[in-house]
Amino acid sequence: MTASSLVEPPTVADDLAPALESARGERWRPLLGTIVAVAVALALGAGLLLISGADPVSSYAALLDGAVGSRRAIELLLVQSVPLLIMGLGLCAAYRARVWNIGTEGQFQVGALGAGAFLLLTPLGSSPIAIPAAMLVGAAAGGILAWSIGALRARWEINEVVTSLLSNYVVLFGVAYVVRKPLRDQTSGASLQSERIPDVAALPTLPGSRVHIGLVLALVLVPLLLWALTRTPFGMRVRMVGMNADAAEAAGVATRSVIARTMLISGLLAGLAGAIQVMGVELRLTTSMSTGIGFTAIVVALLGRLHPLGVVFSALLIAGLSVGGNVMQLRVGVPNAVVLVIEALIVLFVVLANRRGLLAGGSR
C-alpha cells in the first residue's frame, strides 16, 4: 500500500502487520534516499542558476553563508524554524492518521490572537505567569478550532480538507477585524496593529543569544511526539487508522476518537506556535503576523516524512532556504523566487525517493 487518500484506501486488514514489520527492517534506507534526492534537486537548481547566468557555486555559497554563515544568521535561522518545527510536529500526528489538516495557518493565527488578547485584556497578562498562561490560551484556541474540524469529520464524515482550508480565510478576516477595532493600537498612525504585549510576557532569550526560549520548548516536543507516535498504543492506533481506517475499526480501534484527537494535537501545537511567535518575535498582533507560515509547515511535515526527527531537519532546511535565499539575491543578484523552485524540487525528489509510502511502512 503506498500513498494517501483523503479518507481510507481500500485494502484489507491483513496488510497491516507485515507493513509495520517491514518498516523496522529498513530504517536507514529512507534517510539515504532523502540525501540523494536533495542532492539531485540541488543539482537541478544549479542547472537553473547556471543557464540563467548566475554562478551556481557562488550562489549556493551565498545561500549557505546567509543561512549559517554567522552567529546572527544561525540565531535568525533557529528563530525562523521554531514555528515551523512546532507546527510540523503537530501535523505528523494528524497526517499519520491521514487526517489532512490544511488549516494550520488559521490555527496559528487563532493561537496568536488568543494569546495576544489574553495578554492585553486580562490582568494575568502582566503577571509572572503570563507566559505559560498565554501559551495555554493560544494552544487551546488553535486546538478548539482544529478539534471542531476533526469532530465534523469524525462524527459526520465532513471532509476536513475543505473545512480546514476555508477556516483559514475566515480566521484571517477575524484577525483583521480584531486589530482594526477592539485591540487596535490607537497611537499608531501608520499600520494596523494591536498594542505591544506587556514586557513580562516577552519570551526571554537563551543566555548569550538572541534566540527565544520557544526553541527549547520546540526541542522538548520532538522526543515527546516521537514517543507518543512510535512507542505508545495511541501512536499505534494512529498508524492503523492511517493505513486502513476500516480495518482499524474492525480491529477494535475507535477511529473517530483517533481522528478527532490527532486533529486536536495538530491544532494545539499550531496555536502554541502562534502564541510563541507573538511573545517571541512580533510582540504585538498585526495583520502580517503570519506570511503563510502555516502553509510552509505543511511542506515541512511532508518533507520530514511525518517523522518527528525528520521534521527537525526539514524545518531547518526550509528555514535555511528562505533565510539564505534573500542573501543569495543580495550577493549574487539571483531573484529569490529561485528558492521556491529549489524547495519544490527537493520536495518532489524526496517523495520520489521514498515512494514506497509516506507512512513509513507499506509495500505491496
Partner 1 sequence: MSWSDVIGADALIPLLVATLRLAIPTMLAAVGECFCERSGVLNLGLEGMMLTGALAAFVGGHHTGSAAVGAVSGTLAGGLLAVVLGCFVVRGKVDQVVAGIAVVLLAQGVTALAYLRLFSSATTPPSVDGSPPIAIPLLEEIPVLGPVLFRQTALVYASMAMVAVLAWALFRTRFGLSLRAAGESPAAADAAGIRVERVRWIALTVSGAMAGLGGAVLIDQLELFRENVTAGRGWVAIAIVILVRWNPVGAILGALLFGFTDALQFRIQSAAGGVETAVPFELFQALPYLVTLLVVVASALHFKTRAQPRALGVPYDR
Partner 2 sequence: MLERYAGRSVVALAAVCAALVAACGAGDDAGEGTAPAASGPQPVKTGLILDAPKNAIAWTRAAVAAAETLEDEGLIELQVVDNVAPDATGLKRVATQMAEDGVELIIAHSGTWGEAVGEVAQDYPDANFAFTGADPTGANSENVAAITFPMYQGAYLAGVLAGGVTETGVIGGTAGFDIPVCHAMLHSFAQGAESIRPGIKMLPSYVGSWTDQEKIKEAVLASADQQADVFVPCGTDPGTIAGAKERDVSVFGYVVDEAGEAPRNVMASLVWKLEIPFRAVVDDLRRDRFRPGKTYAGGVPEGAIELVMNPEFSRRIPEQALSAFRKARAAMESGELEVPFVGGQ
Place of cell 465534523: 152
Q: Provide the grid cell at 48.
A: 537553473
Q: What are phi and psi of 197, to 5 degrees?
A: -70, 155
Does 347 bind partner 1 (CB under 8 A)? Our answer is yes
Spatial distance between the Cα atoms of 35 and 24, rounded to a whole number of angstroms = 20
- Which of the listed partners (partner 1, partner 2, none) does 166 bind, with a CB threshold of 5 to 8 Å by partner kind? partner 1
Sign of CA dihedral 206, 211, 216, 219: negative
Q: Please identify, using beta-carbon distances, which residue of 135 and 318 lies nearer to partner 1.
A: 318
Judged by CB under 8 A, which of 9, 83, 150, 320 binds partner 1?
9
Among partner 2, partner 1, none, the one that 161 touches (CB under a kind-dependent 5 to 8 A) is: partner 1
Residues between 193 and 232 with contacts to partner 1, criterion CB under 8 A: none
340 is a site residue for partner 1 (CB under 8 A) = yes
Residue 183 DSSP one-character state? T
Pick 188 or 363: Cβ nearer partner 1: 363
The span from the CA of 303 to the CA of 351, in Å, is 8
Tell me: does residue 42 bind partner 1 (CB under 8 A). Answer: no
CA distance 239 to 229: 8
Q: How far is the CB of 94 from partner 1 (least distance, A)?
A: 12
The 166-185 contact track toward partner 1, x by CB under 8 A, reads xx-xx-xxx-xx--xx----
By CB under 8 A, tell whether 156 contacts partner 1. yes
> Interacting stretch for partner 1, rule CB under 8 A, among 66-74, 155-163, 207-215, 260-268?
155-163
281 binds, among partner 2, partner 1, none (CB under 5 to 8 A by kind): partner 2
* Cα(100)–Cα(161) distance, integer angstroms: 6
Contact 65, 319 (CB under 8 A): no
Closest approach, Cβ 40 to partner 2, in A, equals 7
Residue 359 C-alpha cell reads as 507512512
Q: Which does 184 bind (CB under 5 to 8 A by kind): partner 2, partner 1, none?
A: partner 2
User: Which of 16, 49 has the CB closer to partner 2?
Assistant: 49
**What is the rounded CA–CA span in Å between residue 53 and residue 334?**
9
CB of 318 to partner 1, least distance (A): 11
CB atoms within 10 A of CB 204: 10
Q: Which listed option, partner 2, partner 1, none, makes contact with residue 216 (CB within 5 to 8 Å by class)? A: none
Classify 331 as helix, strand or coil: helix
In DSSP terms, 194 is beta-bridged to 184
